[in-house]
């Protein structure tokens, strides 16, 4: 009995230690992200610049055999879409931020939500939270040495082989004609759970119904800093814009724990439904597009360490920006009084 009690205490202490270490890593990671372009109070620490749009999602029903998730059955639901630039600087011009983001929040029955976060590159640059941290530190050190972006990319790919596919994808990106003429990849694997409790590894991608269109070199010279938001607002005054949601079915050997590696192109794809954007909306206060927020049933996180790390990293970013916003409000009230 004594030995059992002792091992239980040790396990408890180990668990607390791991939690503290993970929490500390979150704080360090957000610190390093802030060093990339400096602190921008009240803004997200990544994808700081963005615009929100109201939308509806009509599931095709084709995913129902794979999952009991309510937004992938047959009933149309409301959704919120946030397009964003990848930079940590909210003032950076659209043309200068290569990768774009598309975060979708499905409004589930009974007030619940489920998030799906995607970007215009198919893979992430780091395999683990630790290597993510190491790369951020290396980038900040290189920037302090006044290295150019091409030199930094060369240095990172030389030291961190896992980053090569992602950084090459970023280098190949061209400025899109619109937020809705991009293909967006949800870089993490998830598990769909069906009625029998069977789990299926999957990935997601958003296909633009308008097709993939990029700006010509000539067109890039005349674009305002926020051309993407302007273009989409004008487009939606004429007609809605839409995406199809593809679910990619993983097979034996496809990694679920490595977001730096693509699955083979020949994997089965299911057309899971149609997302229709209707109008721009003000970003709701307190919106956090955390990709680990899932429906209450039918979908689970994979063993991807970066995906699981994002839960606490997003929380740390939110804690900081909400605290800064509250401080700003206090200062404004002080001016008025």
Q: Residue 145: is it exposed, middle or buried by C-beta count within 10 angstroms (0-12/13-18/19+)?
A: exposed
Q: Which of 312, 323, 311, 333 is nearest to 286 (CA)?
A: 323
**Rounded Cα–Cα distance for residues 271 and 273 (Å):** 6
Q: Are 137 and 29 in contact (CB under 8 A)?
A: no
**Rounded Cα–Cα distance for residues 255 and 262 (Å):** 9
Determine the pLDDT at residue 274.
98
Determine the pLDDT at residue 331.
54
Determine the pLDDT at residue 250.
98
Determine the pLDDT at residue 86.
85
pLDDT digits (tens, 9 = 90+) for 91-150: 888 998 899 999 999 999 889 999 999 999 999 999 999 999 888 888 888 777 777 777
Determine the pLDDT at residue 61.
96
Determine the pLDDT at residue 329.
60
Low-confidence ranges of the chain (pLDDT < 70): 1-23, 41-43, 45, 328-337
Determine the pLDDT at residue 13.
42
For the whole model, what pTM was predicted? 0.86
Q: String of b and e for 288-312 (b: at least 16 CB within 10 Å)?
A: ebbbbbbbeebbebbebbbbbbbeb
């Amino acid at each position: 009995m004594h030995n059992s009690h002792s091992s239980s205490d040790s396990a408890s202490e180990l668990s607390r230690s791991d939690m503290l270490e993970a929490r500390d890593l979150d704080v360090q990671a957000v610190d390093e992200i802030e060093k990339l372009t400096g602190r921008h109070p009240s803004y997200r620490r990544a994808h700081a610049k963005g615009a929100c749009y109201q939308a509806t999602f009509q599931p095709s029903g084709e995913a129902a055999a794979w999952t009991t998730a309510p937004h992938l059955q047959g009933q149309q639901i409301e959704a919120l879409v946030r397009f964003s630039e990848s930079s940590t600087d909210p003032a950076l011009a659209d043309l200068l931020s290569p990768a774009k983001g598309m975060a979708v929040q499905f409004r589930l029955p009974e007030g619940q939500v489920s998030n799906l976060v995607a970007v215009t590159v198919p893979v992430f640059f780091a395999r683990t939270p630790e290597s993510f941290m190491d790369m951020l530190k290396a980038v900040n050190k290189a920037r302090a040495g006044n290295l150019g972006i091409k030199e930094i990319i060369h240095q990172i790919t030389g030291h961190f082989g896992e980053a090569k596919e992602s950084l090459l994808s970023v280098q190949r990106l061209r400025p899109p004609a619109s937020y809705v003429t991009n293909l967006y990849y949800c870089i993490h694997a998830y598990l769909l759970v069906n009625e029998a409790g069977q789990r299926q590894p999957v990935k997601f991608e958003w296909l633009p119904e308008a097709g993939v269109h990029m700006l010509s070199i000539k067109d890039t010279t005349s674009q305002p800093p926020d051309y993407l938001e302007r273009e989409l607002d004008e487009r939606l005054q004429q007609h809605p814009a839409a995406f199809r949601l593809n679910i990619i079915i993983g097979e034996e050997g496809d990694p679920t724990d490595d977001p730096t590696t693509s699955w083979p192109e020949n994997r089965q794809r299911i057309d899971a439904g149609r997302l229709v954007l209707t109008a721009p909306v003000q970003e709701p206060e307190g919106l956090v597009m955390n990709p680990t927020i899932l429906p209450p049933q039918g979908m689970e996180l994979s063993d991807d360490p970066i995906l699981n790390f994002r839960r606490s990293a997003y929380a740390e970013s939110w804690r900081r920006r909400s605290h800064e916003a509250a401080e700003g409000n206090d200062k404004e009230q002080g001016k008025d009084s």
